[in-house]
Amino acid sequence: MPSALVGVMSMTELKKLGVIGGVGPLATARLFRRVVELTDAHCDQEHLDVTVLNRPQIPDRSAYLLGQPGARSFVEPMQQAARELEAAGCEVVATPCNTAHAREAAIASALTRARFVSMVGEVVRLLAYVSARRVGVLATDGTVHAGVYGYALASCGIEVAYPDAKGQREVVRVIYEEAKARSSVQAGCLDELFRAFAQAGCDAVVLGCTELSLVDAPLSYRGMVTVDALDVLAAACVRASGAQVRKGEVERSFDGRLAQALLQLQDEGGE
């Protein structure tokens, strides 16, 4: 059978991916790109069918979780987006917003057939797989306040470390004043935080806000592995949609220990 026909036929085995996006817009664009880069495809027809709803009007997640005056719930708009994606034929749904995962169950409950891929769940599973013991988390105030990573990591027996008050203010500044406002970040802006986590005995650091994926963070630092939640989600979306992740791109994007774990999870059929 001609190879072109094989490629077309293989598309019937793939599941359509839907993305609740706009939270924020640049993270959404990056997730789509990373899904493409991490898919082991050799022609256009072997890539995933992806529908992206870019909804920047979804209310600020941190403001709502922190109970700020006038803050509106983001849950119902994200539930509506999930329903629209399912109605469009999506069988796998994800969102590139760590903070929104504080209400992950409520958002996923809007789906009747599609599977919701948990970014936080995938990150924690990967950290547990590599036997992480103490993990530093860089995230929004809302994510930290809601214990999005704290509870999930603790449930696996993994200790959690956060920046001190000054460090947390710097994290929020980078997210909102650089990444969200200017779509760029200053090189080395997280170096001091990485040093603090290393001194605190961490063996991993989670970039727990997808805007932090814009930071040119090292794959590892003084023995700590860096876990970019957005990249982990992209790989999980590829697997959940029935495709294979591209081995070379995984090895380029992750520290060797994490890359090996991701590839082993795929070989074991983990989605």
Which positions are annotated as active-site residues?
Answer: 97, 209
Q: Give the Cα separation of 31 and 41 in Å (integer).
A: 17
Q: Which residue has the tokens 């001190």?
A: 164
Query: How far apart, in Å, are the Cα atoms of 76 and each of 103, 107, 140, 175?
Result: 10, 8, 21, 24
Q: What is the rounded distance in angstroms from the CA atom of residue 250 to the CA atom of residue 152?
A: 24
CB count within 10 Å of CB 83 equals: 15
Q: Tokens at residue 23, please?
A: 């939270």
Helix (H, G, I), strand (E, B) or coil at 106: helix
